[in-house]
A and B are shown apart, each in its own frame.
Chain A
Amino acid sequence: MQRYSGFALAKHALSHHENWERQWRNPTPKKAYDVIIVGGGGHGLATAYYLAKEFGVKNVAVIEKGWLGGGNTARNTTIVRSNYLWDEAAALYEHSMKLWEGLSQDLNYNVMFSQRGVLNLGHTLQDMRDIQRRVNANRLNGVDGEVLDAKGVQEIVPILDCSKNARYPVLGASWQPRGGVARHDAVAWGFARGADAHGVDILQQTEVTGFKIRDGRIYGVHTNRGDIEAKTVGCVTAGNSGVMAKMAGIKLPLESHPLQALVSEPLKPVLDTVVMSNHVHGYISQSDKGDLVIGAGIDGYNGYGQRGSYTTVEHTLQAIVEMFPIFSRVRMNRQWGGIVDTCPDACPILSKTDVKGLYFNCGWGTGGFKATPGSGHAFAASLAKGEMHPLAAPFSIDRFHSGALIDEHGAAGVAH
């Protein structure tokens, strides 16, 4: 792998930047691999990267039916935070946060991780009680956090309407200074380039059409480019996980919903942090390019259409204008939808299945991007050892029968 550096940049300037090598190969599929990862999004590529780099499993294929990071990885609103309420969730997301903090150096790829802080606003007394409880829990778990009053919020975000006359007055917020944003497609590309450099085959335009299962054990996949064998298969297919599980004869407690986001025209710097509101229901940040990046809740119905409804966009923008009257005349540039696999307890599934050797990493719902490195790392450790990593173990699919749910509905910064 050609390393990226200031020196390399100067050297390639001499040849007008025409001789940079491709970031990853485009190999033809081998007959067999040690591990197959289904799904070339952020989580899948991160899993492959850590498998090859940290766990010594280099004979790995990532199978992607479209192009890398073409699904939710490049459709989310890029927010990274780890202020989850319950111990199990906080441990997993904080593990991820620690990996984020060294990710650009580790990958030798600028993922533009910017720790500009995340505010979760409280608009009611109950909001504030929940925020206090969550921040206290975070601190006990070693996750940074502060409770701010309205004055403290106003100091951080002067353009936020914190007046008492607001329809839903801002009473305060939780503040995680280590939270922030990252450039989402660079995350997919960085992991892909790193995985490729460690020998992982990334097979794009290759669709898994079925699993080869015999005597309750997996031994490969059918694809549109022929059968590929592997004794360990990790399925990391987000919104499509239910469809994949059905192919393997497994049922998952997931429902796939459209989740939309939108960006405005580029503006001068006006908002230098991330603001989320559970109560008026919207979240917003400003990208380095200058556009406001806006999102909110899912569409209520199941759907695979990768587009959202007008009503949801309208509600989202009502919430944003309620909080930021200054943005009332900003024009929106683009709007899109992704399909998120929501779980009943708003926590992911990282689990073995009834089919030996077949693992699922899914159910991240509306908040998977922030977990990309941690999810990949814990899942890779589990695939390499054949035993779920301690951080992943509580997220077993068995919890929906045992009752040991990890209910993060209240702690997610935004209600869903």
Chain B
Amino acid sequence: MFHIYCPYCEEWREEEEFHAKGQAHIQRPLDPESCSDEEWGDYLFFRDNPRGIHHELWVHAVGCRKFFNITRNTQSYVILETYKMGEQPRFTAENPNGESQGGAASADLDSQTASVQEARA
């Protein structure tokens, strides 16, 4: 059972309240009419499906009903962070330890990461 921090409610809630909605950060082509079959098929059907760090779209279905993103390890199932729509992840496959790049990481994110680590311990 996941214990998920909703970045909008700012609360930890049980997995039952949420639904996974697939890979995050997929952008609809700006002009679908001018897409090739290749580009349109890639947008509709092809996904990363990594074994390891993955960015996912979730919805707080029986809570605030807002969509947000989770960075999660698909092997260990550890949730590394949750973040609002429009924000960029701090933990990525290239940067698995979430080291801040250029020192712009917000204090909010730091405190959330600390509580993730607390929950893991």
Residue ranges of A at the interface with B (Cβ–Cβ < 8 Å): 240, 242-243, 246, 251-256, 300-305, 309-311, 344, 400-403
Q: In whole angstroms, how far apart are the Cα atoms of A273 and B15 in the complex?
A: 35
Task: Check A403 against B37 for contact (C-beta < 8 Å).
Answer: yes
Task: Check B20 against A301 for contact (C-beta < 8 Å).
Answer: yes
Q: In whole angstroms, how far apart are the Cα atoms of A251 and B44 in the complex?
A: 13
Q: What would be 15 A-B contacts, judged by CB atoms less than 8 Å apart?
A: A242-B48, A243-B50, A253-B46, A302-B23, A302-B54, A302-B56, A304-B75, A309-B15, A310-B1, A311-B1, A311-B15, A400-B41, A400-B45, A401-B42, A403-B41
A305 with B75, Cβ < 8 A, contacts A255-B49, A311-B1, A400-B46 known: yes
Task: Check A303 against B46 for contact (C-beta < 8 Å).
Answer: no
Q: Is B16 an interface residue (CB 8 A)?
A: yes
Chain A residues near B19 (CB-CB < 8 A)? 300
Q: In whole angstroms, how far apart are the Cα atoms of A243 and B23 in the complex?
A: 16
Chain B residues near A402 (CB-CB < 8 A)? 37, 41
Dominant secondary structure at the B interface: mixed
Chain B residues near A243 (CB-CB < 8 A)? 49-51
Task: Check B47 against A255 for contact (C-beta < 8 Å).
Answer: yes
Closest 9 CB pairs of A and B: A401-B41, A242-B49, A301-B20, A253-B45, A300-B20, A400-B45, A344-B45, A304-B51, A401-B37
Task: Check B45 against A309 for contact (C-beta < 8 Å).
Answer: no
Q: Which residue of A lies closest to B47 (CB)?
A: A255
Residue ranges of B at the interface with A (Cβ–Cβ < 8 Å): 1-2, 15-16, 19-20, 22-23, 37-38, 40-42, 44-51, 54, 56, 72, 74-77
Q: In whole angstroms, how far apart are the Cα atoms of A246 and B51 in the complex?
A: 11
* A68 to B: closest C-beta gap in Å: 22
Q: In whole angstroms, how far apart are the Cα atoms of A34 and B54 in the complex?
A: 37
List 6 extra interface pairs beyond A302-B54, A403-B41, CB under 8 A.
A242-B50, A251-B46, A252-B49, A302-B49, A309-B1, A344-B45
Chain A residues near B2 (CB-CB < 8 A)? 309
Q: Which residue of B lies closest to A399 (CB)?
A: B41
Q: Find the residue from B44, B47, B76 having the highest chain A CB count within 10 A.
A: B47
Q: Find the residue from B1, B38, B41 having the highest chain A CB count within 10 A.
A: B41
Task: Check B76 against A253 for contact (C-beta < 8 Å).
Answer: no
Q: In whole angstroms, how far apart are the Cα atoms of A305 and B51 in the complex?
A: 9
Q: Which residue of B lies closest to A242 (CB)?
A: B49
Dominant secondary structure at the A interface: loop
Task: Check A344 against B44 for contact (C-beta < 8 Å).
Answer: yes
* A173 to B: closest C-beta gap in Å: 29
Chain A residues near B38 (CB-CB < 8 A)? 401
* B103 to A: closest C-beta gap in Å: 32
Q: In whole angstroms, how far apart are the Cα atoms of A33 and B49 in the complex?
A: 31
* A400 to B: closest C-beta gap in Å: 4
Task: Check A253 against B47 for contact (C-beta < 8 Å).
Answer: yes
* A21 to B: closest C-beta gap in Å: 38
Chain A residues near B45 (CB-CB < 8 A)? 253, 344, 400
Chain B residues near A400 (CB-CB < 8 A)? 41, 44-46
Q: Which residue of B lies closest to A310 (CB)?
A: B1
Q: In whole angstroms, how far apart are the Cα atoms of A302 and B58 in the complex?
A: 12
Q: In whole angstroms, how far apart are the Cα atoms of A168 and B5 in the complex?
A: 35
Chain A residues near B15 (CB-CB < 8 A)? 309, 311
Chain B residues near A300 (CB-CB < 8 A)? 19-20
Task: Check A301 against B1 for contact (C-beta < 8 Å).
Answer: no
Q: Which residue of A lies closest to B22 (CB)?
A: A255
Q: Which residue of B lies closest to A240 (CB)?
A: B51
Q: In whole angstroms, how far apart are the Cα atoms of A311 and B20 in the complex?
A: 13
* B68 to A: closest C-beta gap in Å: 14
Q: In whole angstroms, how far apart are the Cα atoms of A329 and B56 in the complex?
A: 38
Q: In whole angstroms, how far apart are the Cα atoms of A102 and B15 in the complex?
A: 46
Chain B residues near A304 (CB-CB < 8 A)? 51, 74-75
Chain B residues near A254 (CB-CB < 8 A)? 47, 49
Chain A residues near B56 (CB-CB < 8 A)? 301-302
Task: Check A305 against B46 for contact (C-beta < 8 Å).
Answer: no
Q: In whole angstroms, how far apart are the Cα atoms of A302 and B48 in the complex?
A: 10
* B58 to A: closest C-beta gap in Å: 8
Q: In whole angstroms, how far apart are the Cα atoms of A344 and B38 in the complex?
A: 16
Q: In whole angstroms, how far apart are the Cα atoms of A158 and B48 in the complex?
A: 47
Q: In whole angstroms, how far apart are the Cα atoms of A302 and B20 in the complex?
A: 9
Chain A residues near B16 (CB-CB < 8 A)? 311
* B5 to A: closest C-beta gap in Å: 16
Chain B residues near A401 (CB-CB < 8 A)? 37-38, 40-42
Q: In whole angstroms, how far apart are the Cα atoms of A150 and B74 in the complex?
A: 43
* A235 to B: closest C-beta gap in Å: 15
Chain A residues near B46 (CB-CB < 8 A)? 251-253, 400
Chain B residues near A251 (CB-CB < 8 A)? 42, 46
